[in-house]
Amino acid sequence: MSAQYLDTAQGRRIAYHKTEGQGPTILFLSGLKSDMEGTKAVALEAWAKAKGRAFVRFDYSGHGISSGAFAEGSIGDWHEDTLELVEKVIDGPIVAVGSSMGGWQSLLLSRARPNRIAGLVTIAAAPDFTEDGYWQGFSDEQKSALERDGYVSIPSEYDEDYIITKRLIEDGRDRLVLRSPLVLNFPVRFLQGTEDTAVPTSQAIRLLEHAEGPDMRLTLVKDADHRFSDETCLRLIEKSVQKVLERG
């Protein structure tokens, strides 16, 4: 199936796949430098199709086959992409499923459009990682380079080196969700692997303790890493989405 495209008010072209079916629509939000062809996105789409459920996966600008360059983007840009998709492509309530940076995006979406969210599942959610991960982890030399050159390059164990820009860091500070009240008045399931070297278990616990809501649970999977995409983890994602759909 060929991708469809949405031209946004900001002049970006966002690629997406939409499956019609019973609502609420399951919306998958990928991680940093990941795309809608990732294992979790495709597996969850197949599960949704088998269940007759509506489903959408997409590429943020600068990711996958959407327009733009990754290094030019920011948390705010990708939040705008998400909002445009929600408002122009999806009708009715949504169950957001966010992986890593997509977990942060799902929380931003929940805060911006709480009336549209029927439930939330996050996988190794990485809210505020530009500040708590990158900036706080940078050496004085890296911080100086960021100021001088506008970017720093850091290695990734999953992909080519990441170009982290000054704009990404500064824009991220305007999108933090763990410094102010975060109310999630719908079923929420946080999933986290104990062997995740990108997002520590302590961050998942911090998110659970910080957020407020009537139906919120954190599931830790021993020995699972940041990819969270082996068969056991994929089944857990599906079960969590099913539970949220039932309770929403």
Contact indicator for 116, 245 with CB cutoff of 8 Å = no
Six token digits for residue 186: 């719908």
Write down the residue that tokens 């469809």 correspond to.
4
- Return the number of other C-beta atoms located less than 10 Å from residue 248's C-beta: 16
Q: What is the overall mean pLDDT for the chain?
A: 96
- Whether residue 1 has pLDDT greater than 90: no
For 202, phi then psi, to 5°, come to -60, -30
CA distance 173 to 133: 12
Domain spans of the chain, in order of start: 4-128+177-242
**Is the alpha carbon torsion for 66, 70, 73, 76 positive or negative?**
positive
- Whether residue 177 has pLDDT greater than 70: yes
- Whether residue 144 has pLDDT greater than 70: yes
- Whether residue 157 has pLDDT greater than 80: no
Contact indicator for 174, 76 with CB cutoff of 8 Å = yes
- Whether residue 156 has pLDDT greater than 90: no
Residue-wise pLDDT tens digits, 20-76: 999 999 999 999 999 999 999 999 999 999 999 999 999 999 999 999 999 999 999
Beta bridge partners of 218: 190
- Whether residue 162 has pLDDT greater than 90: no
- Return the number of other C-beta atoms located less than 10 Å from residue 214's C-beta: 9
User: What's the confidence (pLDDT) of residue 154?
Assistant: 87
Q: Can you give the C-alpha Rg of the chain in angstroms?
A: 17
CA distance 143 to 135: 8
pTM for the complete prediction? Answer: 0.96
Confidence of residue 99 (pLDDT cuts 50, 70, 90): very high
Residue-wise pLDDT tens digits, 79-96: 999 999 999 999 999 999
Residue-wise pLDDT tens digits, 186-234: 999 999 999 999 999 999 999 999 999 999 999 999 999 999 999 999 9
**Is the alpha carbon torsion for 225, 229, 233, 236 positive or negative?**
positive
Helices 75-88 & 166-173, crossing angle to 10 degrees?
Answer: 60
CATH code of the domain occupying 4-128+177-242: 3.40.50.1820
- What integer is the mean pLDDT of 114-118? 98
Confidence of residue 158 (pLDDT cuts 50, 70, 90): low
CA distance 175 to 79: 9
- Give the 3-state secondary structure of residue 21: coil
- Whether residue 160 has pLDDT greater than 80: no
